[in-house]
């Protein structure tokens, strides 16, 4: 990657991924989800009120298909991990994904 993008290109890519992750975290927090980590790079760890609802949210999101986020455990709490890792990811992609995650969380909370 360094050879292809150079130092400044890699730095810009990392900064862009971090900004998109912060946008993702802000949107999810505004929608009522718990953001469990301090977003410093490209990772967001988020959860619903309980483990069952979080698992249901992940399953609903994966079925829906807008984005793929996987399960994790963060400091003993069941959660979902979001990674911004593709150079082509845009703010519009993140916004669509926020909408999909919040819809999945809502679906999970009404069924659990």
Reported as a single tens digit per residue, the pLDDT across 63-76 is 999 999 999 999 99
List Cα–Cα distances, 6 to 1, 16, 19, 83, 85, in angstroms.
7, 15, 20, 23, 18
Domain spans of the chain, in order of start: 2-111
pLDDT of 32 strictly over 90: yes
pLDDT of residue 2: 60
- Domain formed by 2-111, architecture: Alpha-Beta Complex (3.90)
pLDDT of 39 strictly over 70: yes
pLDDT of 5 strictly over 70: no
What is the C-alpha to C-alpha distance for residues 49 and 105, in angstroms, rounded to an integer?
10
pLDDT of residue 14: 78
Res. 12 pLDDT band, cuts 50 70 90? confident
What is the C-alpha to C-alpha distance for residues 35 and 20, in angstroms, rounded to an integer?
15
């Amino acid at each position: 990657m360094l050879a292809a993008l150079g130092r400044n290109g890699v730095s810009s890519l990392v900064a862009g991924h971090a900004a998109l992750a912060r946008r993702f975290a802000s949107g999810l927090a505004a929608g009522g989800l718990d953001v469990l980590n301090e977003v410093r790079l490209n990772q967001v760890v988020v959860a619903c009120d309980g483990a069952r609802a979080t698992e249901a949210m992940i399953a609903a999101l994966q079925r829906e298909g807008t984005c793929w986020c996987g399960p994790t455990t963060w400091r003993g709490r069941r959660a979902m991990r979001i990674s911004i890792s593709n150079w082509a990811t845009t703010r519009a992609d993140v916004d669509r994904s926020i909408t999909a995650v919040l819809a999945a969380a809502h679906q999970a909370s009404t069924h659990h």
